[in-house]
Amino acid sequence: MERVEGPVAPMSAFEWDAALATGHAEIDRQHQELFACSSRLLTAGPSAGPAFMELYESTRRHFDFEERLMRDIGYPHSFTHALLHSRLLGALNAVRQEIVAEGLGDERLRTFVYRWLVGHIVEHDRPVATAALAR
């Protein structure tokens, strides 16, 4: 499984925190939805399949939205950002396969999801939102 760097989640980390807001209303709404999906996944227990698919599909739709937005505004780092999206979707797929094959401990799953979600928002989505709002 790909290692995703970033902060480690406290136990109650999957509640949206306004400190993560980018200032772009639609991006922030979608991020809030990703937090909600993550919370459902982490509380789903042994029957996490549907919750995982919800998170995966919501993530894919969010990435599609961001990639369209970056193209529309001529964001200079859109290619690199889209590659990150592809890597993150691949990492999510690897996590799904690990869950199916051998289970993935709750804390490992929580840490992985939190790191990619918060890390991506802070490091990569804020600059996109800032560029979009400046147009």
pLDDT at 135: 87
Low-confidence stretches of the chain (pLDDT < 50) are 1-13
Its pTM stands at: 0.84
pLDDT at 42: 82
pLDDT at 12: 42
pLDDT at 10: 39
pLDDT at 107: 74
pLDDT at 2: 37
Per-residue CA distances from 123 to 5, 29, 127 (Å) = 11, 18, 8
